[in-house]
A = this chain, B = another copy of it.
Amino acid sequence: MTRDLAQAHPFDTATRLEPLAEGRWRGHTAPAYGNMVGPFGGTTAAVALSAVMQHPARQGEPISLTVNYAGPVADGAFEVRAEPVRTNRSTQHWLVQLHQGDAVVATATAVLATRRDTWSSVETGFPAAPPADSLPRAQPLGRVRWTSAYDMRFVIGAPPSTGPVEAGGGDSVSLLWVRDEPPRALDFPALAALCDVFFPRLFVRRPGWVPIGTVSFTVYFHADAATLAQIGTRHLLGHARAHQFRNGFFDQAAEMWGLGGELLAVTHQIVYFKE
């Protein structure tokens, strides 16, 4: 291992892309971000966005990212293809696909844009929460490696095995402080991954394990790169809840806040569950 690799943050290792040709890269799943099976979906989303960010035709910063998890990602190498399908004066539209062998394992679309200063207003209130430093770090889940890659401090709605707060109430709301562990300066791929750290709402609402898998995941980015740089390595405050669990699928929605009350992103996903 070279000195450079030895010093890399595990998230950078997990999202590293080796160029193969214009618009094509090879990546590799990383044990530090392993899930029950295959990699943490947040890193898959981060990889899709990283490909767009590294493409020489890229213009602007991310506004939206949707990732569809088409099939299981096996541990090992994958190929990413990113194509700018339309470039306008201030927005750019991307299609991304992740392949393993002949199989599409994920598709993604992203929209980038050049932001301008306009009238702005946060309509949702910044959630009341005690400081991160005053809360204990939730115990990572031993069999879910990626949970060790985040420092999570729950205010409400921890899954039963992850912290001091009991679940099983009438709703699936969680409020938690979260950052990369070890700390890492925030950027767009890391924010995309952080938007997927909320445990499946099913496990908050109804303790007990069943097989689950995110089907589709969307992030709307409200922050620009300068705002992310100001956040740096500090915790974000995340608030998540479900609207409905029905016939094998549930949705979850979340907001991701900076300590200063900046709403950095809103995110939604729909998740399959089996029982």
Using a CB–CB cutoff of 8 Å, the interface residues on chain A facing chain B are 63-64, 66, 68, 70-71, 85-86, 88, 90-91, 93, 95, 97, 103-104, 107, 109, 111, 113, 115-124, 171-172, 205-206, 215-216, 218, 220, 222, 224, 241-249, 251, 253, 255, 263, 266, 268, 270, 272-273, 275
Given A124-B243, A124-B244, A253:B270 Cβ within 8 A: no
- The answer to whether A205 and B121 have CB atoms under 8 Å apart is yes
Q: Which residue of B lies closest to A64 (CB)?
A: B216
Distance A255 CA – B172 CA, assembled complex (angstroms): 17
Given contacts A71-B86, A222-B246, 19 further A-B contacts (CB under 8 A): A63-B215, A63-B270, A64-B68, A68-B93, A70-B85, A70-B88, A85-B107, A86-B104, A91-B272, A115-B249, A116-B248, A119-B206, A119-B275, A120-B247, A121-B245, A216-B220, A218-B268, A222-B243, A268-B268
* A86 partner residues in chain B, CB cutoff 8 A: 70-71, 103-104
A215 touches B111 (CB 8 A): yes
Cβ 8 A contact of A247, one of B118, B205, B247, B249: B118
Specify which chain B residues have a CB less than 8 angstroms from the CB of A272 in the assembled complex: 90-91, 113
B270, A216: Cβ atoms closer than 8 Å: no
User: Could you write out 19 A-B pairs with CB less than 8 Å apart?
Assistant: A63-B216, A64-B270, A68-B93, A70-B86, A70-B88, A91-B215, A95-B95, A109-B216, A115-B248, A118-B245, A119-B245, A119-B275, A121-B244, A124-B244, A216-B220, A218-B268, A246-B263, A253-B266, A253-B268
Q: Nearest residue in B to A216 (C-beta to C-beta)?
A: B64
Contact A111 B216 (CB under 8 A): yes
> Do A244 and B216 have beta carbons less than 8 Å apart?
no
